[in-house]
Amino acid sequence: MPSQPDIQQSLATALRDRLAIIADRELFARDPADHLHRLRTVSEQILALQGQLPPPVDPQLAHFLERQSYDKALAFLEAC
């Protein structure tokens, strides 16, 4: 099983990927279905990684993830 720092690093990467997909207006304009597919895929990855975080999960991070405040979750992870 990956360690908490590895999972947190993977989670931060997935959160960054999600932001990049959202910002990719060219892909959205060219192929909205692929854009949505990529967004769904990375969102599922985020949920899976969230479920792999070993307890105790910092309450603030847990709150951000549960509320899907992914910008705040990423800022939290980057500050660690």
**What does the pLDDT profile of the chain (80 residues) look like in tens digits?**
567 689 999 999 999 999 999 999 999 999 999 999 999 999 999 999 999 998 999 999 999 999 999 999 999 999 98
In this prediction, residue 77 carries a pLDDT of: 96
Is the pTM above the cut of 0.85? Answer: yes
3-class DSSP assignment, residue 65: helix
Tokens of 25: 């207006």
* Cα-based distances in Å from 25 to 35, 37, 48, 60, 78: 9, 14, 26, 31, 25
In this prediction, residue 1 carries a pLDDT of: 58
